[in-house]
Structure 1
Amino acid sequence: MQTEARVGVVMEGGQRAISSGHGSIATVDGATRSKGQHQQHRYQAQIGTVSQLLSGGIAGAFSKTCTAPLARLTILFQVQGMHSDVETLKKASIWREASRIAREEGFRAFWKGNLVTIAHRLPYSSVNFYAYEQYKKILHTVPGLEKYQNNASAEISMHFVCGGLAGVTAATATYPLDLVRTRLAAQTNAIYYRGIQHALRTIIMDEGHLGLYKGLGATLLTVGPSIALSFSVYEALRSYWQSKRPHDSTVAVSLACGSLSGIASSTGTFPLDLVRRRKQLEGAGGRARVYKTGLVGTFRHIVQNEGFRGLYRGILPEYYKVVPGVGICFMTYEMLKMLLADISANL
């Protein structure tokens, strides 16, 4: 989730550059722009949007694939407290769990559930970007807000609100794939779900259509504060860095600040992410329900049975995933954006 926030910043900047280059109507001595020029600008803007959508989606999918082993370890640690005794929890460690996966499930098992992750990431990025643009258009039409259009603080606030709404929209639209990904990744030796389609059918048969949205409330509560922390920490760090070292590479500054903001966001929202993962696994594989109360009751149950540290079970592999994940995502996005820009320029 932190990675998507970073990509969102870059995509927004690219779209703003496109809009500034093609959004204004050039006039020479009062003459209006010709129809052919207008169509050409529209075509170039569409190419720019498509290239950003492709770059962001592919970068996110590639980043998720590279960090899939750490993502699966995070999920396995997050759900350990549901059906494990105290002694088992005390013995848990990253190396011991990684060794168990390699020994019992094979090396390929580190990427278990990654196909559905990619299937989820591509539409998620597209919906997120499209919704962001639509929410911006809606807010710009709200009476009384037009006087703040040239105000920098107001623009940042508007982008913050639109980004949060877009994240909630994208998370809701693609949530069943996120749930399936969690359940596939959480499987160890006992295989209950044999793939994406089988998992979707089985969940509907066992738990009804609403079963595809288990844990949605906790997910939406995670998306908002996660993006809030990501954007605020990222912008604050980047502004401070550039004020002290204005000649440093923009890519390097964005990479470093993005990684630090990802760590801050993960720390602040990890308990909510842990709860949503466990809610997603309620009743999976025919198991009895563990948490029979709402969100607050689930938090209370975890603290009572596992202590406060239980809310941060799996935080270390999450940290290990954030830094390389953001770096790979930025690198892939920038490379693809330049490549697609060259291709579109030659069309």
Structure 2
Amino acid sequence: MELLLAHPAIKAFMCGSLSGTCSTLLFQPLDLVKTRLQTLQGGVQPGSGRVGMMTVLQSVVRTERLLGLWRGVSPSFARTIPGVGIYFSTFYSLKQHFFQDSSPGPVGAVLLGAGARTVAGVSMLPVTVIKTRFECGRYSYRSVTGALRTVCQTEGPAALFSGLMATLLRDVPFSGIYVMFYSQTKASLPTEISTSPSAPLANFTCGILAGVLASLVTQPADVVKTHVQVNPRLRTVEAVRCIYVEHRLQGFFRGAVPRTLRRTLMATMAWTVYEQMMARLGLKS
């Protein structure tokens, strides 16, 4: 057991899982607001005027109390804790295998991030589907395991992989773009900054920049993914058509503000915590 825990990839998994736990608990309200905006739920209906992040936030607090902002946190934990662990352990393993003696360039960074996210995204997709349904407010599931069982019995196991294409189109480019911008901006920092006590703060700033850019590029795919997972009878192409017919191009950017805030802060915090923990364990992240 001790030998297993001593394996670098296992340590990367544990570091990633801890970073995912912290970021999920802090930023779950932003994810819920983003999902409600994209599906126009939670007491806010079409035709009620301009719908913004604060409108949905106030509506959730008014109808579901403050704790309603953490609705879906259980499936978020069930997805993020192992999911981020899988992501970072896969990232670490791929980097050690292909770039053991060198730092990856822009293309290599994109491939590392995309490869790690593909493995984690496919592995955790069933829980992602349940998490999205918890947050949208249309389903009355009581637990993650109960929801998984209900979906399998009523819709079939295939429903747990609804939105797979849209999820990969969102997450794989996001991770690839994020890792590329993050690694390249970090590499461009002056040596006196990257080796100083303020290095974590500088890295955090690099992460913020990378997260904003990656979030905006992949926002349309996130909207499509949400619609497919909430309405499993919709196919990806049909979801794109419905969104465009109902809301035009701006419909593909619904929830962009809370999602950008959440994804940027979560990714930045996860990477900062992960790198600091790996450094304390004597491993190069």
TM range (shorter): 0.7 to 0.9
Contact persistence 1:259–1:322 (CA under 8 A): no
Contact in 1 for aligned 2:130/2:148 (Cα 8 Å): yes
Provide the C-alpha distance between the structure 2 equivalents of 1:228 and 1:87, rounded to a whole number of angstroms: 38
After TM superposition, list the pairs within 5 Å mapping 1:231-310 onto structure 2.
231-242=179-190, 249-283=198-232, 289=233, 291=234, 294-310=235-251
Gaps of 5+ in 2: none
Residue identity in the other structure for 2:157:
H
Q: Give the C-alpha shift of residue 245 in structure 1.
A: 6.2
Cα distance in 1 for partners of 2:183, 2:91 equals: 19
Partner of 1:197: 145
TM-score, normalization by structure 2: 0.83
Taking only the aligned residue pairs, the percentage that are identical comes to: 21
Question: What is the one-letter code of the residue matched to 2:18?
Answer: I
- Where does residue 165 of structure 1 map in the other structure? 115
Tell me by how many angstroms 1:164 deviates. 1.6
Partner of 1:225: 173
2-structure distance, mates of 1:151, 1:253: 22
Across the aligned residues of Structure 1 and Structure 2, the Cα RMSD in angstroms comes to 3.3
**Counterpart among 89, 93, 98 of residue 57 in structure 2:** 98
TM-fit CA distance, 1:49: 4.2
Distance 1:134 1:149 in 2: 10
SS state at 1:192 partner:
coil
Match of 1:14 in 2: none
CA distance in 2 between counterparts of 1:130 and 1:107 reads 35
Deviations along 1:283-316, one digit per CA (max 9) or x if unpaired, are 5xxxxx5x4xx43442232122102111000111
Indicate the residue corresponding to 1:116 in structure 2. Answer: 75
Query: Are the counterparts in 1 of residues 215 and 259 from structure 2 also a CA contact under 8 Å?
Result: yes
- 1:321 aligned partner: 262
Compare 302-311 and 264-273 and name the one that shifted more.
Answer: 302-311
CA contact (8 A) 2:29 2:70 kept: yes
Larger radius of gyration: 1
Q: Which residue of 1 is the match for residue 27 of structure 2?
A: 67
For residue 240 of structure 1, report the CA deviation from its aligned partner.
3.6
The SS at the match of 2:113 is helix
Q: Distance in 2 between matches of 1:295 and 1:323?
A: 25
Q: How much has 1:244 moved relative to structure 2?
A: 10
2:131 is matched with 181
Is contact 1:136–1:158 with CA below 8 Å preserved after alignment?
Answer: no
Q: For the Cα contact (< 8 Å) 1:255–1:326, is it kept in 2?
A: no
Change (3 A) 1:244 1:273: farther
Question: Compared with structure 1, are the counterparts of its residues 321 and 119 closer, same or farther at alpha carbon in structure 2 (3 Å cutoff)?
Answer: same
Q: CA, structure 1 residues 102+150, in 2 after alignment: closer, same or farther (shift >3 Å)?
A: closer
**Alignment deviations for residues 12-58 of structure 1 (CA, whole Å, 9 cap, x no partner):** xxxxxxxxxxxxxxxxxxxxxxxxxxxxxx95992654443222101
Task: Tell me the distance in 2 between the aligned counterparts of 1:247 and 1:337.
Answer: 16
Q: 1:207: Cα distance to partner? A: 1.1
Shift, 1:71, TM fit: 1.1
Q: 2:13 aligns with which of 43, 47, 53?
A: 53
SS in 1 for 2:182: helix
Equivalent of 2:158, from 207, 210, 218?
Answer: 210
| TM-score, length of structure 1 as denominator length | 0.70
**SS state of the match for residue 251, structure 1?**
helix
Amino acid at match of 2:147: A
Mapped to 2, the partners of 1:120 and 1:186 lie a distance apart of 16
- Matched positions, count: 279
Q: After TM superposition, give the deviation of residue 98 of structure 1 in Å.
A: 1.4
